[in-house]
């Protein structure tokens, strides 16, 4: 038996402009993300610089806009100088965050080369854990200053004559976490972040800066951390970060699918905190949000403790994602788009092998995980203006989240105004959902396609041997009649309904 949900598609129900940076990702020196992931000299698909071209093609297909680098926990013990200059002269280091050996065969300049090849914008993080604002300002000078100074001329001597022009910079990573090298209180971090922001912008006034927010909403200092940090940094930074990883340890599918509601509450709390400091400072400036780590992560939690330490690029944190994980990622993407008026950057963590949409075999194949597809659809069809839907849906009750709508949905209208897309997840475990959409304002539009991702087995996965176990399909009977969009959303499904102006 199918129940019904309704939406209204109206170009005046604007949430805000969707920044292309919302569809970013994250590359950290962790596990096989870099070595054996994006960089593998000697691989049959490697180019002259050692970058895997098969991986590059999948990154281009995803249309990733922004990539954060080099961490993550890694950055809080990283000396950026170790990763520049002739490779044969670079030191091998004990890497304490993940208990491995870092070869430094890939560093800043190689990352920028990779970004240019893939067409993504670099987002560079600086070490405010074991180092301070002096190393941070030197890195900005090395990357962005044209010439005629020590650090800029050093870059030129390394073969990079033109400045890299990196615009977006993160002021450390998760500095509220006791696991972090150089863990600080909010007061301590706020002070050093303020000083780093000042001198980095003095070197290059055009850059944008992201201050560290809480590592998660479960942190005991959240959201006071945000308040204190912004009290110090408000006039010097442009964004504050959010991190979240959704988990399903007990296999409760309805609750797992509801967890994106907690993500939405998290965003709204951080917005309120930013605006409270804005009022306190009597500022005309509005701080935006950078959700620079988000994903599903629970399959491989704790696996790093089982791996022999002090290896180079061991297989750490390699979640094999199932079909339900893909639906949760879809709900998270919808949540980001629904908050596009304030969330202007976001990075799916991570890009390759480490809790990632793309998996590789070292020396072998690469393939798309289940979570690849909702990100692909949102990145490809979710640009432009985010539209609220005046949604009305049947609900189910969850002890943690209360009444949870079966339907999670948002719409986007492209900049030209000739393409309208509805993204929708049916959370119902047992029943299809009939969707009726009021589209009278878009009468000169037709159904372009209705894509769905669904599977009979909630735990189905894609592997190197069976890479197409979970893949999108097309629904043919979705239609518009008398100004009403009519669609059937299969039980447990991710849906992309595209309308095109005639």
- pLDDT score, position 2: 73
Token pair 């180019």: residue: 47
- pLDDT score, position 114: 98
- pLDDT score, position 4: 96
- pLDDT score, position 7: 98
As a whole number, mean pLDDT of residues 472-490 equals 96
1 — pLDDT class (breaks 50, 70, 90) = low
Who's near 27: CB < 8 A, 6+ residues apart?
Answer: 33, 34, 37, 38, 67, 68, 69, 70, 111, 350, 351, 352
Whether the pLDDT of residue 198 is over 90: the answer is yes
Instruction: Kindly state the percentage of the chain with pLDDT values over 90.
Output: 98
Catalytically active residues are 174, 293
What sign has the CA pseudo-torsion 226, 227, 231, 235?
Answer: positive
Give the residue range(s) of CATH 2.60.40.1180 domains in the chain: 3-10+387-501
As a whole number, mean pLDDT of residues 305-330 equals 96
Mean pLDDT score across all residues of the chain = 97
- DSSP one-letter string for 146-193: -SSSHHHHHHHHTT--S-----EEEE-S-TT-TTSTT---HHHHHHHH
Decide: 133 and 193 in contact? Cβ < 8 Å: no
Q: Per the structure block, which two tokens stand in for 99?
A: 């208990």
- pLDDT score, position 302: 81
Q: Which of 188-202, 298-312, 358-372 has the lowest mean pLDDT?
A: 298-312
Decide: 293 and 246 in contact? Cβ < 8 Å: no
268 — pLDDT class (breaks 50, 70, 90) = very high
Taking CA atoms, 145 is separated from 160, 200, 336, in Å, by 12, 11, 34
Taking CA atoms, 134 is separated from 70, 144, 166, in Å, by 18, 15, 18
Quote the pTM value: 0.97
Give the residue range(s) of CATH 3.20.20.80 domains in the chain: 19-245+265-323+333-383
As a whole number, mean pLDDT of residues 288-307 equals 92
Q: Beta-strand (E) ranges in 399-439?
A: 402-405, 407-413, 419-426, 433-438
What are 379-392's pLDDT values in tens digits?
999 999 999 999 99
What are 163-178's pLDDT values in tens digits?
999 999 999 999 999 9
What are 344-380's pLDDT values in tens digits?
999 999 999 999 999 999 999 999 999 999 999 999 9
What are 67-97's pLDDT values in tens digits?
999 999 999 999 999 999 999 999 999 999 9
Q: What is the CA radius of gyration of the chain?
A: 23
CATH code, 3-10+387-501: 2.60.40.1180
Smallest Cα–Cα separation from 491: which of 397, 400, 426?
426
As a whole number, mean pLDDT of residues 488-494 equals 98
- Class for domain 19-245+265-323+333-383, per CATH? alpha beta
Distance CA 27, CA 444 (A): 43
Distance CA 295, CA 46 (A): 28
Cis peptide before 72 (omega within 30 of 0): yes
Taking CA atoms, 400 is separated from 244, 255, 256, 258, 259, in Å, by 17, 8, 11, 9, 9
- pLDDT score, position 286: 98
- pLDDT score, position 208: 98
């Amino acid at each position: 038996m199918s129940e019904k949900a309704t939406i209204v598609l109206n170009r005046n129900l604007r949430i805000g402009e969707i920044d292309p940076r919302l569809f970013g990702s994250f590359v950290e020196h962790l596990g096989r993300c870099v070595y054996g992931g994006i960089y593998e000299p000697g691989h049959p698909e490697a180019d002259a610089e050692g970058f895997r071209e098969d991986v590059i093609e999948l990154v281009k297909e995803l249309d990733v806009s922004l990539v954060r680098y080099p961490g993550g926990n890694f950055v809080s013990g990283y000396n950026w100088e170790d990763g520049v200059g002739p490779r044969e002269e670079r030191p091998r280091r004990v890497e304490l965050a993940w208990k491995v050996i870092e070869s430094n065969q890939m560093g800043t300049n190689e990352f920028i080369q990779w970004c240019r090849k893939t067409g993504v914008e670099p987002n560079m993080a600086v070490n405010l854990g074991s180092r301070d604002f002096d190393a941070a300002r030197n890195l900005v000078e090395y990357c962005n200053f044209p010439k005629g100074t020590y650090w800029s001329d050093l870059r030129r001597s390394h073969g990079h004559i033109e400045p890299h022009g990196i615009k977006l910079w993160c002021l450390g990573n998760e500095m509220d976490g006791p696991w972090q090298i150089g863990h600080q209180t909010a007061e301590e971090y706020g002070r050093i972040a303020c000083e780093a922001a000042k001198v980095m912008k003095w070197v290059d006034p055009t850059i944008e800066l992201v201050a560290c927010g809480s590592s998660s909403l479960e942190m005991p200092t959240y959201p006071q951390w945000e308040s204190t940090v912004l009290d110090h940094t408000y006039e010097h930074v442009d964004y504050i970060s959010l991190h979240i990883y959704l988990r399903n340890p007990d296999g409760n599918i309805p609750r797992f699918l509801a967890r994106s509601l907690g993500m939405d509450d998290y965003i709204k709390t951080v917005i309120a905190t930013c605006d409270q400091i804005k009022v306190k400072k009597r500022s005309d400036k509005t701080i935006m949000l950078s959700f620079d780590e988000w994903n599903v992560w629970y399959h491989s939690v704790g696996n790093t403790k089982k791996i022999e330490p002090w290896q180079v690029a061991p297989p750490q944190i390699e979640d094999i994602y199932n079909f339900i994980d893909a639906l949760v990622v879809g709900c998270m993407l919808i949540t980001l788009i629904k908050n596009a008026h304030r969330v202007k950057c976001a990075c799916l963590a991570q890009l390759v092998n480490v809790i990632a949409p793309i998996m590789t075999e070292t020396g072998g194949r690469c393939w798309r995980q289940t979570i690849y597809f909702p990100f692909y659809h949102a990145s490809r069809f979710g640009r432009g203006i985010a539209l609220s839907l005046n949604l009305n849906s049947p609900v189910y009750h969850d002890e943690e989240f209360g009444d949870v709508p079966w339907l999670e949905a948002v719409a986007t209208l492209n900049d030209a105004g000739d393409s309208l897309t509805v993204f929708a997840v049916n959370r119902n475990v047992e029943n299809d959902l009939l969707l009726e959409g009021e589209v009278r304002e878009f009468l000169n539009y037709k159904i372009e396609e209705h894509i769905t991702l669904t599977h009979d087995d909630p735990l189905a996965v894609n592997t190197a041997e069976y890479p197409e176990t979970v893949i999108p399909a097309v629904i043919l009977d979705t239609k518009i009649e008398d100004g009403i969009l009519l669609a059937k959303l299969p039980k447990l499904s991710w849906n992309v309904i595209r309308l095109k102006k005639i």
